[in-house]
Amino acid sequence: MASHDIAETPRRIISSGNDELDSRIGGGLPSGSVTLIEGGSGSGKSVLAEQIVWGALRDGLRAAIFTSENTVKSLIRQMQSIELDVLDYLLLGRLRIYPMELSRRGAAAPSALLAAMRREADRDLLVIDSLTAALIHAVDDKGVIAFFEGCKRISASGTSILVVLHSDVIEADFISPIRSMCDADLQLRMEQDGQRLVKTLQVAKIRGATNITGGIVGFEVEPGFGLRVIPISKARG
């Protein structure tokens, strides 16, 4: 009987659909990972999350977005304005969008959100944009830690999770344990580059891609074009 070599299963990744951006984050985000996308207001957090959703859908994956920032209609229009048209995916059921008023749920917001995510755990990608309202009303860090522990359990089955967070309104002591629990940490900022103010993405951590950790990517978002990586003097890696 002839013997057959068993090929090693390649690492599955979630692509952003932007080749240049993917190359800066180790080819994409590992499948079954929990990724934190953090930064201040206007730094491009939502756009980055939407870009990754679009890339996943284009690759045949299924996604769900839990948004405290938009209605279904406003989110679709927002994505269409930067050439990320996901309307067909929504109509076909490949994408689901769930507006959630987390601020009204107070300290119960993290557990309510996690329960909603569990109902969509058969999806390939879950996006929370954003978790900020839930954290602001948290009484202590126990509920938040429990939320991320729940995310880790969901991701263990292969579902990738993106969590968007406005880190400029969260105390450093509060966000440190969150970063440690996530498989990837993408930090967005607005920085001065010569005479211009640019959006930057720093890859603080990605599981299995240590060679690109610390790399800084400059990018801009143009209506009618979308996200574009741009050269900046600080860029490296």
Domain boundaries of the chain, sorted by first residue: 13-230
Whether the ω angle into residue 130 lies within 30 degrees of 0, i.e. cis, is yes
Output the pLDDT for position 211.
Answer: 63
- Residue-averaged pLDDT of the chain: 88
The total of other beta-carbon atoms located within 10 Å of residue 18's CB is 20
Q: What is the mean pLDDT of residues 72-84?
A: 96
Q: 235 pLDDT exceeds 80?
A: no
Q: In the CATH hierarchy, which top-level class contains the domain 13-230?
A: alpha beta
CA distance linking residue 172 with residue 155, whole number of Å: 25
Model confidence, pTM:
0.90
**Closest by CA position to 145, among listed 64, 33, 45, 34:** 34
Q: 215 pLDDT exceeds 90?
A: no
Tokens linked to 80: 């269409």
Going by pLDDT thresholds of 50, 70 and 90, the confidence category of residue 189 is: very high
Q: 27 pLDDT exceeds 90?
A: no
Sequence-ordered alpha helix ranges (H) in the chain: 19-24, 45-58, 72-80, 87-91, 109-118, 132-136, 141-155, 172-181
CB neighbours of 14 closer than 8 A, spacing ≥ 6? 28, 29, 30, 31, 52, 55, 56, 59, 61, 124, 125, 160
Lowest mean pLDDT among 42-51, 80-89, 169-178: 169-178
CA distance linking residue 220 with residue 200, whole number of Å: 9
CA distance linking residue 18 with residue 27, whole number of Å: 10
Q: What is the mean pLDDT of residues 71-94?
A: 97
Ramachandran sector of residue 165 (left: φ over 0; alpha: ψ -120 to 50; beta: rest): beta
| % of the chain residues with pLDDT over 90 | 60
Residue with tokens 């993408």: 186
Chain segment 44-75, per-residue pLDDT in tens: 999 999 999 999 999 999 999 999 989 999 99
Output the pLDDT for position 139.
Answer: 64
| % of the chain residues with pLDDT over 70 | 90
Output the pLDDT for position 209.
Answer: 67
